[in-house]
Amino acid sequence: MIARYSRPAMAALWTEEAKLGRWLEVELAVCRAWAARGVIPAADLGAIEARAGFSVERTQELERTTNHDVVAFLTDVAERIGPPSRWVHFGMTSSDVLDTGLALAVRRAGDLLLAEQAALTRTLRDLALRHAGVVCAGRTHGVHAEPTTFGLKLAGHAFESRRNEERLAAAIEAAAVGKLSGAVGTYATLDPALEAEVLAALGIGGEPVATQVVARDRHAQLVCAMAVAASSLDRLATELRHLQRTELREAEEAFAPGQKGSSAMPHKRNPITAERISGLARVVRGHAVAALEDVALWHERDISHSSVERIILPDAFLALDYMLARTQALMEGLVVRPERMREVLDSSHGLVYSQRVLLGLVEAGLTREDAYALVQRNAMRAWDEGRPLGDLLEADPDVAARLRPEDVRALMDPAWYTRHVPEVMQRVAAL
């Protein structure tokens, strides 16, 4: 991911320095386990721990000759340690280091994501409760449907955010898995007890049955979970982009002093943060496709997944981390206009109350079919003539035969539609 969309804490986990540092963590943990078994002499372990290190520049220099990143890294480390380095990587294959190191990255990067997702859940919950009673138009197909509240809109997003917490947590746990079982997973040069000891010390899980690598369905699950989380942010951003349209202006991104919306049009206040979130969601969803393609490897392993993962895993983590932070800032600064929401609701001439009137006519004795036809007849006139539905209903003799004018007005009250919102908000408060 480019620096523009990378935050420092997450970016620091995906540097070359950090990657090689994790490889060294794995190698040293295995050396300690071998030493505990008497394989590595105590003096050699002491030398290894005292001298072990690397430089990105030297490793990269060596890789230009070896054409193998792990071998280059091990050579760099060996140069610093000297003769005791013969024990480093003892019994291991490259993927033991690569996949176990990757599991460490997933765990640490995952912790950052989960913290951001949880913070967004809390923000959405609080905003939903704050705006629970703010009546606005509910829309289906982009067209006014029935009254709802802005708080209820946000409540759905709050619960979706919580589900993303759960999905991400499960996927991170599934992917934060290493292996130390050798070239094809048979433990021919290591043993299961050593693997369990090392992985426990590193704070990650183990692949019960590995090939040369950890199974890539785990990483596909992770990237897919991130794609779902990104899509949820896209859904929220898209909603806010629609509400900021000039014709509506029900809600709006904060516009800071000195900010410019357009190089040509001084009046512009564009939903640029929401649009950026929607755009980056496309990137993360694209990475999910690549992660799924990585699942099917040849036999015990090929490296067709390797080049893909070097791009998509850091990118997906960085993009989602950035998106979560920007969404948080967007929601914290959101300008909400309750009065405008009510104006927009009322602008559709009372058509949003058509179902309530239909039900009132049914309760007054009409069949549902006749009631539907009667209300629809007047609703189409309201659409076409721009006249209030209530006035048309009161003037319709077929309606008047069943409902008094005061009955019609009583049926066109948004409070009836939102009367259960407080009950729903109790669920929100429990998030």
Catalytic residues, which ones?
A: 141, 262
DSSP bridge partners of 137: 147
Residues 71 and 31 sit within 8 Å (Cβ to Cβ): no
What letter does residue 263 receive in the DSSP assignment?
Answer: S
Q: For 262, left (φ over 0), alpha (ψ -120 to 50), or beta?
A: beta
Backbone φ and ψ of 2, nearest 5°: -70, 160
Please, what is the angle between helix 421-429 and helix 150-175, to 10°?
Answer: 30
DSSP string, 78-106: HHHH-GGGGGTTTT--HHHHHHHHHHHHH
Question: What is the separation of C-alpha 154 from the centre of its chain, rounded to a whole number of angstroms?
Answer: 16
With beta carbons less than 8 A apart as the criterion, state whether 224 and 171 touch.
yes
Compute the distance between CA of residue 302 and CA of residue 310 in angstroms, rounded to an integer.
Answer: 15
Within 10 angstroms of residue 304's Cβ, the number of other Cβ atoms is: 12
> In terms of DSSP bridges, do strands 177-178 and 335-336 run parallel, antiparallel, or are they unpaired?
unpaired
Contacts of residue 259, defined as CB under 8 A and 6 or more positions apart, other chains included, come to none
